[in-house]
Structure formats: structure tokens, C-alpha cells
A and B are shown apart, each in its own frame.
Chain A
Amino acid sequence: MHRLRAWFLAPARLVNLVCFVLPLCIVLAYSLLSRGVYGGVELPWTFDNYRRLFDPLYAGIFLRSLWIAGLSTALCLVLGSPLAWFTARADRKRRNLYLNLVMIPFWTSFLVRTYAWMFLLRDTGLINTALMSVGLISEPLPLLYNNGAVMLGLVYGYLPFLVLPLYTSLEKIDPSMLEAASDLGAKPSTAFWTVVVPMAKPGMRAGSILVFISCIGTYLTPDLLGGSKTIMIGNVVQNQFTAARDWPFGAACSLVLMGLVMLFLRSDEL
């Protein structure tokens, strides 16, 4: 029995070892080495890369990333909860239709969809052009290249990751739960807060984790929609490995990012 289990687990263990544990060790080693002149890493061993993270510039970027990811997750919750609830309460046929509608954006590449937002938001984009042509504004609104644009992109991109697990939670709530609450004297709003929300918590939690983790590590969205003003950790990591040619610092940044994510997961368990 135990031997069988070992055999069954072997492929997963192998994948985990080759694709996660070994690369992680390499990244850890890089983060403790010195920068090579043309990229790459050199001896000696050092903690300097981690020390640099306390530089206000990078600390600020970490804080901004946390803030943008946190707020985007909150926005997803606010926008996604009614949608998930509506879908879960619809009759069976409709439910599948709505779920498919939630999934449709996945049929197109995330990159292409983010570019589409640029076309909508830029100074000569659809929104500004339309508003100017009807005379509501005389100058284009600064819709692109700011925190707001990044959050819009993140909320847009990751909303389904919140809706789907939340839907699964909500769908499990038996209609008789709401009837029981009403029967015992709870107004619909009270029933919602005392019965629906607590019962939907596992879904909210799972959805929030998925969205938050996706958001905090992202580099594509801030790169395209945030321009040079809104930089997140993901951009720093990418930059260190490409233009800046500072692999050790990039490695340190990504390890700290991973640490933050794990901390977030643990704090949720407590």
C-alpha cells in the first residue's frame, strides 16, 4: 500500500523537484551572489541585494504593489459578489449561460485584452475621442498611465478568478437556508449578512487569494497601463533581469515577493 502510494506520488514529486525546488534554490543562490558586468552572477557571496530592498525607492514600490493588489482584490469582491450571487440564484439553464459569459474573456489572450484597454483609455482613444466630440471635455482626460488604469486592468483581468470560487460557495447554499432565516424573523438584508455571507466565506477567501496573488506578482498590466509612473514589484524583477542586468537583485526581489505571498496565505489561515 505504501509502495503503491510512493509510485503514484513519484511523478508529482519529480515535477515539483525539477520545476520548483531546484529553480528556487538557484534563485536563492543568485540572490546571495554579486552582479556580473553583463548580467549573470559572480562571487563573492553577499547580503547586499536584500539590504537594497530597504532603499525607500524599492520599499515604496513594495508598498504600492501591496496597496494596488489589495484594493484591486477589494474591488473584485465588491463587483464580483453580486454577480456570483445573481448567477448562483438563477435557474439551472441560465446559470450555465452566465458562467460561460464570465469565462468568455479567457478565450482571448490577456495581453491582447490589455492592449485593447490602452486603445480605449489613451488620449486619442475611444473614450476621450467620444467625450471630446460631444463637447463634454475640451482636453483628453488622463485615463492611462496611472494607478487607476492599472487597477482597472487588474480588476478586469482577474474578476473571473473571484467570481468562480465564490459562485461555487454560493451555489451550495440551500434555498431553505434563506427561508429558515426569514422564518426565524430575519429581514432579507439581515439574512444576507448573518447567513449568506458567513456561508460564502470559503469562496470569498479562495477567490480573494487567487486575485491578490495574481495581482501582486503581475508585471504585464502595470507595464502597459501604468507606464513609467506606476511600477510594481513584478516590473522591478523583470527590469533587473533585462535592462538593468542585475540578476542578484532581481532574484532577491522575487524571493521577497514570494515571501509576502506566503505570509498572506498564512495570515489567512490564522
Chain B
Amino acid sequence: MAAILELRGVSKHYPAHRAVHEVSLEVETGAFYSILGPSGCGKTTTLRLIAGFEDPDHGEILLDGRPLQNIPPFERPVNTVFQRYALFPHLTVQGNVEFGLKRRGVDHRAKVAEALEMVHLTGKEQRMPAQLSGGEQQRVALARSLVLEPRVLLLDEPLSALDPALRKSVRAELKTLQRRTGITFVFITHDQEEALSLSDRIAVMNKGEVEQIGSPQDIYLRPATPFVATFLGDVNWIDAATTLGVRPEATSIGRQAPEVAAARVESGRVRNSVFLGHCFHVETETSRGRIVAEAAHAYTPGEAVFVWWNAADEMRFHA
């Protein structure tokens, strides 16, 4: 499939810091593309560059192969769902959703109804944003953008303002919406679980630069850098120089040494066990340092144990 959106060596530097540095990425048509990274990594600036709220210092942003340079936000066929939704407080739900259509001079009644139905807000047309719950406001923000059928929908941490209980259900809805509409989503998040569960592709950013681009499995199982490995999950570092690591869920633990052939084995003592609901994480002290293993039951602190893992599960990095 062709790339709908392409960033080529895009940089945005501020006097105090490099917000975005030499970022290049390609988003395929119809993809759910996530930009993942800790706060301050430049992901929001990247989104603002695509939306047109900021201009890059270097590099090019292409939409459908055409450079977006000098095209103001109001002429870009790209829409944004803002982190705090940025709904117009003086307009009703209807008013918010038809705002963009009115600017285009499009006949909007049917489209607004359709968009509101899509986000399950039918019947709340005349409510004011302040009368809606956080989840409902978020869906208005979605409808307001989706109704314009953008080439690319940009979502700036849209789930972060929701309470955790709601987050998972909205996450599923988001994915469904994306499939139904076929619109390309560029999703900004700092939550690796969100990115892994939703995305077709993920770009991991750190300190303004892209560390790795790949499928969720790629970046989780085959992280390109120690940063990506630790950002996406827990890592047992087998050596001090962080060139060799293994994930706790790939690490087994037992009182006897394993009889599996391909296993790397270390002996050690249990420090403590942490109950996580679906399993225990048992922290052990070995000659290689601290190693955490996943176990079905708890171990007593001080117990002598063996931990082991398959060579295939090891993550290697260049020093």
C-alpha cells in the first residue's frame, strides 16, 4: 500500500531544546499508526507539525505525495482530536460537530446525524459540552473530526484524560471506528499498552528522535535499542552494559535446575515476590545481578532458586 503521509528528515528546534530532530516516517493508507514515547519526547510536536500548528525548521511533510509546506492548518485535509478535546464551550454538540462542515459550506444535517450515531451520541445533539461526561466529550471531539472525512486523523493522547475504567472500552471503540471508517489514524501516546493493542505500526520516539519503527510485535520482541526495550516493558539486564536483556515473562523460575536443552540458567536467591493478579513477579539476586521471573506461585525470600530463559528470547543491543 502507498504511503498517505510521509515525514522526511523533519526537525523542529527551539532555543532551549531539540523538540524534533531528523524524524522520518511513512504512514500507510488506512493504517492505525502510533507515535509512542515518554513526555517531552517530541511526539506532540510531531503531531503539531503534521497538523500545521508549527512549521518545521528542516525537512518535508508530504500528504498524498504533495508537500504540506506553506499550507495553513485550515486548508490541510488533516484533522486533530486534541488532548483536552478543545470543544467549543459556547456551541452545542450539534454546533461542534457541524462546525467544520459549515466552514466548507456542505449540507450537514445528515452527516452530523451519521457521525453522532457512529459515536453513540444520538439524542444528545442539543447538550452543551459542559453537560457531558469526559467520555462523551471525547466522542464529540472524535465525531467533530471524523465528520470531515480527513485524509489523516491525528489523535493527541485522546485517552489520557479519561479515567482508567473507561479507557479500555474507549480504546476498543477507537479501533472499531478506525476499521469502520477506513481513515488513517496517527495516534500519539505515552502508554505502551495502548500503542501495542491498537496499532498496525508504531514509531517509538525519545528525545526528539525516532528510535524504532515497526509492528507492535517487532518493537516489543525485537527492540532496536535498550530505550525501546525498557520503555515497552520490564527487562532483566543480563550484563551491566545493557547489551543483553530478557523480559520477565520469558524468564522461568524453579527450585530445581530445568531439564530444557536450549535454556540459559542462573542460580540465585529470592528477594521477594510481587503479586500482579494473573501471576507473580519473583525478584531474584544472581551472579548476573537482579533478575525478575514470572511464576504461578510465590517464593519465600531467601530461597535458593534457578532462573532460566531461551536464547531465542534474548534481546541483543550494540554497546
Binding site for B on A (CB under 8 A): 174, 176-177, 179-187, 190, 194-195, 198-199, 201
Contacts and interface: CB of A to CB of B under 8 A. Distances in A.
B82 A176 contact: yes
Given A179-B86, A183-B73, A185-B74, A194 B99 contact: yes
A199 B86 CA distance: 13
21 contacts: A174-B84, A177-B86, A179-B82, A179-B86, A180-B88, A181-B88, A181-B99, A182-B52, A182-B53, A182-B74, A183-B51, A183-B53, A183-B78, A184-B79, A184-B103, A186-B74, A186-B103, A195-B88, A198-B91, A199-B88, A201-B90
B99 A182 contact: no
B182 interface: no
A184 B100 contact: yes
A194 B95 CA distance: 11
Given A182-B72, A182-B74, A199 B89 contact: yes
Contacts of B79: 183-184
B104 interface: yes
Interface string B96-134: 000110011000000000000000000000000000000
Contact of A185 (B53, B87, B90, B100): B100
B148 interface: yes
Nearest to B144: A184
Closest 4 CB pairs of A and B: A184-B100, A185-B103, A180-B86, A176-B86
Contact of B80 (A177, A183, A190, A198): A183
A21 to B, nearest CB: 37
Interface of B: 51-53, 72-75, 78-80, 82, 84, 86-91, 99-100, 103-104, 144-145, 148
Contacts of B99: 181, 184, 186, 194
Contact of A198 (B75, B82, B90, B100): B90
A190 B74 CA distance: 11
Given A180-B86, A183-B145, A184-B79, 14 more contacts: A174-B84, A174-B86, A176-B84, A179-B73, A182-B53, A182-B72, A183-B53, A183-B73, A183-B74, A183-B80, A184-B103, A186-B74, A187-B74, A201-B90
A59 B316 CA distance: 93
B100 A199 contact: no
Contacts of A198: 90-91
Contact of B73 (A174, A182, A195): A182
A171 to B, nearest CB: 15
B82 A180 contact: yes
A183 B75 CA distance: 8
Contacts of B80: 179-180, 183
A185 to B, nearest CB: 4
Contacts of B145: 183-184
Contacts of B148: 184-185
* Residue of B75, B100, B104 contacting most chain A CB atoms (<10 Å): B100
A126 B88 CA distance: 50
B85 to A, nearest CB: 9
B244 to A, nearest CB: 45
A169 to B, nearest CB: 11
Contacts of B73: 179, 182-183
A73 to B, nearest CB: 23
B205 to A, nearest CB: 21
Contacts of A182: 52-53, 72-74
Contacts of A195: 88, 90
Contacts of A201: 90
Nearest to B156: A176
Most A Cβ at <10 Å: residue of B73, B144, B145: B73
Nearest to B75: A185
Nearest to A186: B103
A199 B100 CA distance: 18
A176 B104 CA distance: 21
A174 B75 CA distance: 22
Contacts of B104: 185
Contacts of A194: 99
Contacts of A174: 84, 86
Contacts of B103: 184-186, 190
Contacts of A185: 74-75, 100, 103-104, 148
A176 B85 CA distance: 9
A256 B34 CA distance: 68
Which has the most chain B C-beta neighbours within 10 Å: A184, A186, A199? A184
Nearest to A199: B90
A190 B99 CA distance: 11
Chain B CB count within 10 A is highest, among A179, A181, A183, A199, for A183
A199 B52 CA distance: 24
A184 B142 CA distance: 12
Nearest to A187: B74
A174 to B, nearest CB: 7
